[in-house]
Amino acid sequence: DAKTTQPPSMDCAEGRAANLPCNHSTISGNEYVYWYRQIHSQGPQYIIHGLKNNETNEMASLIITEDRKSSTLILPHATLRDTAVYYCIVRTTVVGGGTSYGKLTFGQGTILTVHP
Amino acid sequence: SAVISQKPSRDICQRGTSLTIQCQVDSQVTMMFWYRQQPGQSLTLIATANQGSEATYESGFVIDKFPISRPNLTFSTLTVSNMSPEDSSIYLCSVAGTASFSYEQYFGPGTRLTVT
């Protein structure tokens, strides 16, 4: 089961910042928070990930609370092309097949609609 | 990032037949994953394919129904066997684990399967 809770939908005006919240109260100390988005009929697109420090890249910023129980993805200047389903995922570590690897379990995500 | 291609991009198949989906990556990767996305739903992990070992299947998925091959570090196949209409989904290949993106996981464009 997914370890995250997100609002099912959000709206944002074009040009404004979109702030997408995510709760992950059962996250463990070594588990990363990942954000992906999926535009209709395409494969999920990696956005950003973080452990405990805030992170920023060319697409977005990730703010993680000090207790790591929640985070917020910020799209600083939303455009119409940012309309998508946004998934917040806690990556768990699995040991199997002679190795350990990260496993992404997708929840239902947040449908972000950016309007003119 | 990695460039991932899948073949076919879409197909319409008759029940009782099998379809093999190919996933090709432009660089060597440690882990390859296969996901299913049923209509209107989120992504569900089918199995993890580590080169040189047997695939690890998630609960609810079995090798007889979804055999997977991983012959080298850039290629994998997923077969959907003895198909029924309930297998109509988008099947997505995903990769992780290289020197350049050890913490990131990327997704292919998906294969849209319709079973009639």
- pLDDT value at position A65? 95
Eight-state DSSP code of residue A55: E
pLDDT of amino acid A96: 66
pLDDT digits (tens, 9 = 90+) for A1-22: 668 999 999 999 999 999 999 9
Give the model confidence (pLDDT) of B51-100 as tens digits.
777 899 999 999 999 999 999 999 999 999 999 999 999 999 999 875 44
Q: Which of A42, A97, A107 has its CB closest to that of B53?
A: A97
Q: What percent of chain A has pLDDT over 90?
A: 79
CA B53 – CA A55 distance, rounded (Å): 35
Best of A38, A47, A55 to substitute, by most chain B Cβ atoms within 10 angstroms, is A38
pLDDT digits (tens, 9 = 90+) for B4-30: 999 999 999 999 999 999 999 999 888
A98: left (phi over 0), alpha (psi -120 to 50) or beta: left
Q: Mean pLDDT throughout A65-70?
A: 95
- Cβ neighbours of B48 in A, within 8 Å: 94, 96-97, 101, 103
Q: What is the average pLDDT across A19-37?
A: 93
In chain A, the DSSP E strands lie at 9-13, 18-23, 32-38, 45-50, 55-56, 61-64, 70-75, 84-96, 99-103, 110-115
pLDDT at residue A41 is higher than 80: no
Predicted pLDDT at B102: 61
How far does A69 lie from chain B, in Å, by closest CA?
A: 21
A88 CB neighbours in chain B (<8 A) are none
- In this complex, do A106 and B42 lie within 8 Å of one another by their Cβ atoms? yes
Residue A73: its pLDDT value, please?
98
pLDDT of residue A97: 61
Assess contact for A96 and B48: CB atoms under 8 A.
yes
Three-class DSSP category at B59: coil
Query: How far from the centroid of its chain's Cα atoms is residue B30's Cα?
Result: 15
Q: What's the gap in Å between the CA of A8 and the closest CA on chain B?
A: 12
Tokens 């580590």 -> residue? B50
Question: Does A101 contact chain B (CB < 8 Å)?
Answer: yes
- Does residue A38 have a pLDDT over 80? yes
pLDDT in tens, A71-100: 999 999 999 999 999 999 999 888 766 677
Backbone angles phi, psi at B8, to 5 degrees: -75, 170
pLDDT at A24: 95
pLDDT in the model for residue A98 = 66
Q: Give the model's confidence band at B38: pLDDT under 50 very low, under 70 low, under 90 confident, else very high.
A: very high
